[in-house]
Amino acid sequence: MSLDSFFDSLDPESQFEGWKTSINQKLIHLKNIIPIENRDELNYVGDTIDIIKNLELNKSSYTLYNKATVTKRLKKCNLLHKKFGI
């Protein structure tokens, strides 16, 4: 069984939780590479981590507004990674 087929066999909730875990790990890494003097960027990434940790797939908290907010935040975090990444 390939890893792809294993992931595809998971229910949507498990896939969503896997996505959240992966994104949080990447954001924690980003937070660790941002210099301490860049407080605004550190706070932004920290807030994004908190937002993603609190998302639930089948709850009203994951609305279209939240999807747009998360997408916008992840795009900005990607730019921060390009700025501070090694």
pLDDT tens-digit map of 2-36: 555 665 677 778 888 888 999 999 999 999 999 99
Domain locations in the chain?
3-84
Alpha-carbon distances of 2 from 6, 9, 41, 65, rounded to whole Å: 6, 11, 38, 35
The tokens describing 36, both together, are: 């301490």
Q: Give pLDDT tens digits for 30-46.
A: 999 999 999 999 999 99
Would you say residue 54 has pLDDT above 80? yes
**pLDDT value, residue 44:** 98
